[in-house]
Structure 1
């Protein structure tokens, strides 16, 4: 087995070695074309150590996958590892003592020095102990635009949300749906969050999401966002798709002008052979605010009564953050690596925009790191109700939104 010097030292910390081949079942919800290509990089790296990655992909996204994963864990049949987002999703599992403490791995590998921004490691830390391995930086703060659709419509590719809204009539006249939106509630609530940052501003967004300020949520800054969200609902009419990658495909196929979606959409563009700056364009902060949110994915490892499996879990955790794996995975995923000491000279112009914002410190925490899963579920339900109920006015949904924020934890 190929182990780095640090990993060899690490195996001395734990009571057993994974010198013999170990199969680890890894559960995740990366099932689209771009996502599958990315997770294959993890599998290839793990298999190259002489161990075996047993893929436990669950279709349907995180809302479908998380309950299944939790059920497996509390039911006594846990996988060896599983993907969650950065944030508060694993709090109860950690409190119940069901997840492996990775502090020794983090210290041996120097994660405190390499994970950037540091809040990603903070999101893995409870009472001073580290329980997950962050693997990427994903940001919701993007709009992706089809250059071909705008060429067909005979208008320039927009450089802001304001210009996009103004271009909608030309797209419709050319038979193109202006805004691609899937039918899942997390997509609609996620797009609303992006619009909130862009149109209400970062201070108002932090007041609502971090400080739980219901007055701001019900005030004039957010009224502008809800009016724009209502307009966005109209701009998506005519495109009936469910999954986020189906909406991305409409942009790739030039049947939709744009999509508000996280940078994981780049994996779909890459699989389709699309080139950033030529076939598609990207607007961080909808072109209104130069900012990047720092969400993403992390892997957790359930506690098991098997020293060999435990040692292999810790080896895998270290491998996921190693430089070559960080480069190969994130290049395929469309995300940014969580370590700044890797060579990214070959990234495309959209990824470079993200790196520039990261370097400049133009960052916001991810909303999921500030709001409890229960609050996020309530907001998902509210936004999808609004999106699918044309008679519901922006003022009505804002009133209900402010009430949820008032009770948020």
Structure 2
């Protein structure tokens, strides 16, 4: 992707226009690339689609299968001189490559005019900025370290929300004995990695966890890493075999929690969005607690939008109008309710959110304990190999924890 971006930058001279006040006026055409394609994700995106279209504008949807497919589409269109108007983008440490390559619009003037620095937490401002100028419109904050429980199953078995990994395993044994799947996941390898990263934090602590993703092979070979892999193996024994899960998504697993067909799911808060889209409610149909060992922190993933530079008439104004729409307080609240996430604006009334979101909001407003999804700091090819190794270990109980540890260490050392 770097070569494509640089190629575009050298091939096209784009003049950035001055930011103007950008009300949501009529007859603006945009195309939006995204990978929000599950039922709840699509419903959340409808907040923006409907706001845009109801003003008499036009939205062309360009859905991608996943993040990798999105980046491929965006980079190819940029390289061919016809970038999309808007693209979804994960706002992590690697997001700065877009402004660094000079391929996205600077919306600093708009951010100043609308006072974004007064209503967005400092850690959000840091992620949407490059060299002290704003380039991205943040839509929401996800927390990844959640344990979701079926209220029906837990009430039936008189189970309390687990607070330790041993309590998770004890609950899993009782759930299985009652004839329910204890822990449900889909078939995607990244789901295994998400679970493992939560376990890693609980065994290695914040410093060790960070060291692993900074490429420290000694941290990977730490005895506590072996402990984490042993815990992941125990989780795998309460999950249905891969053949039974073939073709299932994380959302399929989530629905089983809402319907009371399974006991627990370790998943980010987009699971709550899926549950809400089906009419399920926190504390009535499902419960939420932070994954054991991670309550002192929160693994944040921030979603947002980038605005590729273009020579098409009127597009820069349309992009700024879109950015203002994303940060509208009513849209922020409606989007977060549907997505299961938290609004990025710090001035949203927490009483407008359910208990799970209030708990999450309370945590992120304590800026002394913030951990991004640090695995995203690894190069993409390293992360792909890391996830593949974890998934293989999870599915094949003939692979020992020691062998998996050695393979992970080699992946990090070669990265």
TM-score, normalised via structure 1 length = 0.89
Query: How far, CA to CA, are the matches of 2:110 and 2:46 in structure 1?
Result: 23
Match of 1:384 among 377, 388, 391: 391
CA contact (8 A) 1:153 1:173 kept: no
1:167 corresponds in structure 2 to 171
Q: Does 1:222 align with 2:225?
A: yes
CA contact (8 A) 1:136 1:330 kept: yes
CA contact (8 A) 1:266 1:333 kept: yes
Match of 1:256 among 244, 253, 262: 262
Q: 1:350 to 1:65 in 2, by over 3 A?
A: same
1:277 corresponds in structure 2 to 283
Mean CA deviation greater in 397-406 or 176-185: 397-406
Query: How far, CA to CA, are the matches of 2:389 and 2:378 in structure 1?
Result: 15
1:246 corresponds in structure 2 to 252
Give how far 1:157 is off: 4.0
Give runs of aligned pairs for residues 72-91 of structure 1, distance below 5 A. Answer: 72-91=77-96
Q: 1:185 to 1:75 in 2, by over 3 A?
A: farther
SS, match of residue 137 in structure 1: strand
Q: Give structure 1 stretches of 5+ with no counterpart.
A: 1-10
Q: Does 1:237 align with 2:240?
A: yes
Query: How far, CA to CA, are the matches of 2:185 and 2:350 in structure 1?
Result: 31
1:7 corresponds in structure 2 to none
1:137 corresponds in structure 2 to 141
CA contact (8 A) 1:196 1:222 kept: yes
After superposition, give the CA deviation of every residue in 1:302-336 in whole Å (9 maximum; x if it has no partner). Answer: 11112411111111112211211111111211111
Q: Does 1:344 align with 2:333?
A: no
Query: How far, CA to CA, are the matches of 1:181 and 1:66 in structure 2?
Result: 26
Query: How far, CA to CA, are the matches of 1:171 and 1:131 in structure 2?
Result: 48
Q: Does 1:365 align with 2:409?
A: no
2:3 corresponds in structure 1 to none
2:4 corresponds in structure 1 to none
1:149 corresponds in structure 2 to 153
CA contact (8 A) 2:210 2:374 kept: no
TM-score, normalised via structure 2 length = 0.87
Query: How far, CA to CA, are the matches of 2:412 and 2:141 in structure 1?
Result: 26
Match of 2:57 among 26, 42, 51: 51
2:74 corresponds in structure 1 to 69
Q: 1:256 to 1:76 in 2, by over 3 A?
A: farther
Query: How far, CA to CA, are the matches of 2:22 and 2:371 in structure 1?
Result: 41
Give how far 1:155 is off: 3.9
Q: Give structure 2 stretches of 5+ with no counterpart.
A: 1-16
Q: 1:290 to 1:273 in 2, by over 3 A?
A: farther
Query: How far, CA to CA, are the matches of 2:21 and 2:175 in structure 1?
Result: 63
CA contact (8 A) 1:200 1:224 kept: no
Query: How far, CA to CA, are the matches of 2:279 and 2:24 in structure 1?
Result: 39
Q: 1:69 to 1:383 in 2, by over 3 A?
A: farther
Query: How far, CA to CA, are the matches of 1:365 and 1:15 in structure 2?
Result: 33
CA contact (8 A) 1:100 1:302 kept: yes
Match of 2:116 among 101, 111, 118: 111
